[in-house]
């Protein structure tokens, strides 16, 4: 009978000694974001709120040697002539490589240069007194969106980022600390995500969660969700053989995800009419035929009198030819019909494979972002969403489906 080798210790068993070793020390790692995130997650499973300053040697190498483009550990070993016996990709071997690299850099560069670079990476910015100093320790090095709030919860700024910690703290560098934004900020909130798609979703959520939107938010192209009776689109209706004309329809009356022949999404009737008028002028379409003006039968529209209409209003152009030109002009604005039989899951993972977000989507509506199969199945059991069609969410989901950047997993259709 052979003896089984001893099993490696569990993290729970090592945690007390590891926590004691790390307390009060600087955590140094290559791609420290991965190591720190792993440790924080594992300690959290044990009910420990782990925090420690960290130094990423990838960032440090970039600062010390900006003339080089590649800074992975294998490249750095080759560049600096380092060698190490054993399996380089084991934790202890990698730690030894970093130690050798650290010694090498100190032989090549003045200590003050290295200290300055380390300080610029690890340094803790000074926050204004009205902002909780714990923010520095709480901010994750993860994708997501963040928001700056003023008095009474007024939203001053909302942005997405591939690295929340890095971008938020960049607002508090000495040259920016005295700006009106920082003086007016009373609170900073954030929502992390696995990647770019989730960060965009979080940005939309934050931009709409506050009672008021400041000008900085509008500059990023985010708007309040269209009012229930405001969101509209042009739908082609047939008036005769080959005669198609646009009619304004509203999201409160039909489901834009399932309706065919919709073109453009507009927050108000006025915006829809302005857009159609611009399109008509660009393609020499008839204002009367499009319903933009009323004239007597057989009377030329204003655009024809200005030589910007081919005369369908007075019989010089057939309705069929005008309709064909209209369809061609509208083609790029077509609202896509939901292409699946039921909901789908858009699977997004972070760059280290440590986090997986399951974005549940149905008829261009986001039903939720889940982090486990159990949570996903529970949400599916709740049935379809009654949320209104959201143009920003539609555009975001449509884009990610077009690019194919996320894996799509179809789900069974909801039973109605």
* Digit-coded pLDDT (tens) for 146-186: 999 998 889 999 999 999 998 999 898 877 777 888 889 99
- Once rounded to an integer, what is the mean pLDDT over residues 47-70? 91
Distance CA 245, CA 237 (A): 6
pLDDT band at 201 (very low <50, low <70, confident <90, very high): very high
- Once rounded to an integer, what is the mean pLDDT over residues 332-340? 95
Distance CA 354, CA 275 (A): 45
pLDDT at 85 exceeding the cut of 80: no
What are the structure tokens assigned to 384, written together? 């379809």
The string of pLDDT tens digits covering residues 127-151 is 888 888 888 888 888 999 999 999 8
pLDDT band at 126 (very low <50, low <70, confident <90, very high): confident
Which residue from 401, 305, 299, 390 is spatially nearest to 348, judged by alpha carbons? 401
User: Which has the minimum average pLDDT: 38-42, 67-71, 85-89?
Assistant: 85-89
pLDDT at 374 exceeding the cut of 50: yes
User: What is the pairing mode between strands 27-29 and 54-56?
Assistant: parallel
42-51, 79-88, 167-176, 315-324 — most confident range: 315-324
Q: What is the pTM of this model?
A: 0.80
What pLDDT does 64 receive?
A: 95
User: Which has the minimum average pLDDT: 2-6, 211-215, 403-407?
Assistant: 211-215
What pLDDT does 364 receive?
A: 96
248 neighbors 232 (Cβ within 8 angstroms): yes
Q: Give 343's DSSP letter.
A: -
Which residue from 408, 341, 412, 347 is spatially nearest to 380, judged by alpha carbons? 412
Mean pLDDT of the chain: 88
Helix (H) / strand (E) containing 100? helix 91-108
196 neighbors 162 (Cβ within 8 angstroms): yes
User: Which has the minimum average pLDDT: 79-88, 98-107, 147-156, 266-275?
Assistant: 79-88
Residue 298 has φ and ψ, to the nearest 5°, of: 85, -5
């Amino acid at each position: 009978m052979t003896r089984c080798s001893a099993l490696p210790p569990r993290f729970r068993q090592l945690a007390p000694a590891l926590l004691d070793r790390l307390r009060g020390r600087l955590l140094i790692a290559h791609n420290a974001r991965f190591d720190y995130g792993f440790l924080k997650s594992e300690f959290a499973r044990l009910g420990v709120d782990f925090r420690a300053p960290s130094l990423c040697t990838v960032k440090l190498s970039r600062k010390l040697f900006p003339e080089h483009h590649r800074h992975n550990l294998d490249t750095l070993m080759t560049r600096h002539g380092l060698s190490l016996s054993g399996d380089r990709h084991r934790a202890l071997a990698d730690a030894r490589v970093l130690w050798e690299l650290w010694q090498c850099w100190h032989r090549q560069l003045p200590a003050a240069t290295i200290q300055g670079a380390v300080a610029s990476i690890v340094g803790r910015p000074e926050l204004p007194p009205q902002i909780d100093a714990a923010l520095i320790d709480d901010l994750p090095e993860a994708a997501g969106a963040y928001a700056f709030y003023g008095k009474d919860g007024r939203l001053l700024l909302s942005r997405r980022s591939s690295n929340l910690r890095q971008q938020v703290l960049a607002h508090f560098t000495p040259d920016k600390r005295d700006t009106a934004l920082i003086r007016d900020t009373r609170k900073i909130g954030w929502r992390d995500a696995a990647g770019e798609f989730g960060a965009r979703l979080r940005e939309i959520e934050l931009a709409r969660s506050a009672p008021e939107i400041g000008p900085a938010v509008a500059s990023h192209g985010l708007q309040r969700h269209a009012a229930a009776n405001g969101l509209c689109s042009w739908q082609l209706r047939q008036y005769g053989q080959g005669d198609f004309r646009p009619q304004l329809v509203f999201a409160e009356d039909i489901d834009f995800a399932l309706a065919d022949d919709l073109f453009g999404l507009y927050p108000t009737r006025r915006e829809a009419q302005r857009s159609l008028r611009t399109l008509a002028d660009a393609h020499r379409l008839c204002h009367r035929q499009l319903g933009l003006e009323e004239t007597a039968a057989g009377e030329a529209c204003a655009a024809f009198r200005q030589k910007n209409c081919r005369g369908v209003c007075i019989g010089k152009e057939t309705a069929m030819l005008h309709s064909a030109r209209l369809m061609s002009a509208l083609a790029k604005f077509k609202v896509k019909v939901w292409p699946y039989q039921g909901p789908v899951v858009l699977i997004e993972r972070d760059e280290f494979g440590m986090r997986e977000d399951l974005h549940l989507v149905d008829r261009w509506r986001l039903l939720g972002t889940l982090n486990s199969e159990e949570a996903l199945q529970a949400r599916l059991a709740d049935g379809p969403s009654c949320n209104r069609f959201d143009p920003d969410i539609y555009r975001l989901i449509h884009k990610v489906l077009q690019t194919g950047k996320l894996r799509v997993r179809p789900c069974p259709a909801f039973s109605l």
